[in-house]
Every structure is written in C-alpha cells, then in structure tokens.
Amino acid sequence: MTPSHPVSDSRSTPVRVRRHLLCAVVAALMVGQAQGADLLTITRDALENNSELASARAATSGVEEGINVEQADLNPQVSASGEAAYNHIFETQSQSGFSGTGMDDDYISYGINLQATQKLYDALNSREVDVAKAQLEQQTFSLAATEQQVLIDTSSAYFDILRAYEILEARRAQERAIGRQLEQAQEQFDVGLIAITDVEEARASFDQSRADRITAESNLQVAFEALERLTGKRYDSIEMLQDDLPIALPEPASRDAWIELAIERNPELLAQQAGVDVAREQIDVARAADLPVFEAFANYAYSDDERDGYEDYNSNSQVGVSASMPLYTGGRTSASVRQTTYQLESSQYDFESQRRETVLQIRSLYTQVSNDVSTVAARKQAIVSNQSALDATRAGYEVGTRNIVDVLNAEQSLYNAIADYADARYNYVVDLLSLHRQAGVLDADDIAELNAFLVEEGQVNFTLPEQSEADGYDAVLDIGAPPRQDS
C-alpha cells in the first residue's frame, strides 16, 4: 500500500475534474468483481449504499446548483403581465338653469405589459457567484473526505471481523485444550493419583476459558453487524486474510514526507482552506453592496377598451439604460464588512487548528505503524516461545516436577499469545490504512492490494441468532426507497 500519487497542489485541479476523480473509486472497485464477499465487493456496496456518503453527494449537488441560482440574477430577466377588467361608469353633469345630463357605460378593457432587463454591471451579484463557486470547492473536498472515511470505516469493520474470528478460534482451541486437561485431572483424581484441588484448579480454568469464548463470539456478532450498518447489507461469510501478508514500514519511510503529503492532500484540511477562500469572497460581497448597478431594459405596453362609440387603445414601447447606487444604508455595509472580516479570521483559525490536528494524526499513525511492525514480529515469536514453554511444562508435569496449575497457566499463556498475534496483525493493517486516509491518499488501489491477500478457502462464516420473527432483522435494515425530488 505504497502511495504512488504525485505530490502536487490539488487545489489547482478544476472542480469538475476533481469530482470525476471522486467517482473513479467507485468505477475502479466495480471492475473485476471478486467471487463472494471479499473486501472489494463489500467496499463497493458501501460506496453505493452508505447513507452518509449518499447525503454528502446530494449536498454537493445542491451546492453546485447554488451557482446556477446566483448566476441567474446576471442572466436576462423577462416578465409579462396582463389584465382584463369589466368597467361600469356613471357620470352626471348639470348647470344652473339647465337640466343635468348623464353618461352610463359598461365596457371591458384589456392590457398587456412586457419587460426585459439585462444586468450590464452588478458587482454584488458577480461576487455572490464567486462565493457559490468557492462553496462548491469546499463541499467537493468535504465529499472527498466522506468518501475516504467510508473506505477506512468499511475496511476497518471488515478486518475487525477477521480479528474477532481469529481471537474466537484461539478461545475455542483454548477451551478444548483446558477441557481435555479437566477430563484428565478428573480421571487421575478418580484413581487417587492427584488431589481434589488439582481438579478444582482445572475446572476454574475451564470456566474462565468458556467465558472468554462466549465474549469472543459476542464480539464477532457485533463486528458483523457494524459492517452491515455501513453497507445496508447482510453478509453470512467473508474471505480470510492470508498469513503471508507482508508486514513492512510504510513508504515513503519518512514521517516528514507523510506530513507534507497530508498537508497537500488531506481533504479535511483542503476543505478548511477552501473555507478561508469562501470567507474572503464574502468580504468582497459585503463591499460590493455600495457599488453602482447598471442595467439595460426594454418595455412594451398595450391597452384597449370597448367603450360605446369610442375606439380607445394605447401602445407604448421603451428602451434604455438605468443606473442605481445606494448613497447611505445606515451603516449596514461597513458593519457587514466588519462582520465578514471576523468570519475570515475565524476560518483562518479553523484552518490552523485542522492543520495542527492533521500533523498530529500523521505523526501518531506513522509512529504506530512503525511500532506495529515490531509488535507483530514480537507477538509471532511469543507464540513459538509459549509453545516451547507449554511442551516443557507438560513434560515436567508427567515426571512430577510441575503441577497442573503450571500446565494450565502455560496453556493460557499460549492461547493469549495467539490472540495477541491476531490482534497485532490487524492493528497493523488498520493503522496503515488510517495513515493513508489521514494523508488523503487512500483509494481503490490500496483496497485492491489488500484484497489480493484474501483467500476464499477458510471463509469466516457467521449465522445470526434466531429471530422472533423471520423478517425481523431484514425489517430493521430496510431503510425504504431513496427520496425523490418533487416534480
């Protein structure tokens, strides 16, 4: 899992191209689907069905549409209005010495108005478009962070199952071995070769091994269910990890090189940097509120009525340019500038905080992976040593120089060493993936490389406990159909 990514400033990549790169992980994982539930298959399921990732994708599409919303104010605006009315008029006129005259008329009038405008210069709307583009840049990095988090969460859940399974196998073997030891102790007590205390010691060890096995079974069930939460699917079995997985130091073999890579690639850090750009654009928006607006316009109006004895209609057209500029807004603009300046300062502190956190995580993970390499080797050797110690203790017990407690302790130590070795191996795998994730370079190649060390033979099988209702578990996992946009 050596990163082969070129070191470059990903912020210089066009947004749309980067968004296509985010989808490339899904496409890469869908090529050459493996048989059974291997890591590639399950990761593909997570990328397709994970609710957090689906939410992030929808949010990104929404932010992208925000550009179109702001851009619309700079595009031509055309409006039309019309009216039709029934009119009743009654008028009277009179003069001194003359009888009055009157007019009583009912008629229908019509009118229509068309108006078209085009912004020639509007700094405020232009700056709002820039803000929307910067927000899309930020959301794109947030989407990349969510996608990489799904990759690491799914991989961690997968290997947590294998970890739980190998520990369970060790606990089962331990229970069987100590069970046989208890049977032998009981037989020896029945013929008077040993005291009852030896039998009770063996029984106590057996009860403890049984409790350890039950705990391990519970951990395996929880691990399977954690994976299902990420993918929305149930898996009855997954493939095992080969014993010959290479345990080596991360490449590049320099902590500083990983820090530099993370500063350039970590999506959370890039999102915070994009947030600083958003804040800067918002200052420009606040300042633009005092700038003039120039607009071209064209109007056409027509009206007509049907009065008795009259032909009355009007037509009017107008073309021109208008200009407007706020002279005084009660101090609103200057206050908005100060407000957005403070927001910029806050976003800069957020970026610095994220940068420090990223550097800390990279240092910690690099150190942990390096220690994992030594730990795995030590745990593997501990199995050999504890096996030799158990053989020697058993030989001593047969000739009377060791007692049954010594044998039980030696057996306990051996199976603890086996469980610790499995734990150390999977710690290494997960920590190495986490290092790639924190550096922002976790991708389909890393998943595929690990998947190559999975084998179909000896799959981890798991059957859920019987449910009170046959479809009870499926009903819990059924989250319903995806939401639809209202037409």
State which amino acid sits at residue 402: R
In order of their start, the domains of the chain are 10-75+124-289+333-477 (1.20.1600.10)
pLDDT at 227: 87
Residue 263 vs residue 92, higher pLDDT: 263
> pLDDT at residue 394 above 70?
yes
Mean pLDDT of 135-140: 96
State which amino acid sits at residue 279: A
pLDDT at 133: 95
H helix or E strand, kind and range, residue 460: strand 454-461
Of 99-113, 291-305, 446-460, least confident by mean pLDDT is 99-113
Of 112-126, 184-198, 458-472, least confident by mean pLDDT is 458-472
Give the pLDDT confidence of 426-482 residue by residue, as tens digits: 999 999 999 999 999 998 888 999 999 988 776 887 664 444 444 443 443 343 344
What would the two tokens of residue 303 be? Answer: 């009206």
Based on C-alpha coordinates, what's the Rg of the chain? Answer: 38
pLDDT at 463: 61
Mean pLDDT of the chain: 84
Q: Is 88 helix (H, G, I), strand (E, B) or coil?
A: strand
Q: What is the DSSP letter of 353?
A: H
This prediction has a pTM of 0.79
Give the pLDDT confidence of 220-278 residue by residue, as tens digits: 988 888 888 888 888 888 899 998 899 999 998 899 999 999 999 999 999 999 999 99
Helices (H), 111-254: 123-190, 196-231
The answer to whether the CB of 103 falls within 8 A of the CB of 90 is: yes
Of 179-188, 251-260, 323-332, least confident by mean pLDDT is 179-188
> pLDDT at residue 127 above 50?
yes
| Among 120, 137, 460, residue whose Cα is nearest residue 321 | 120
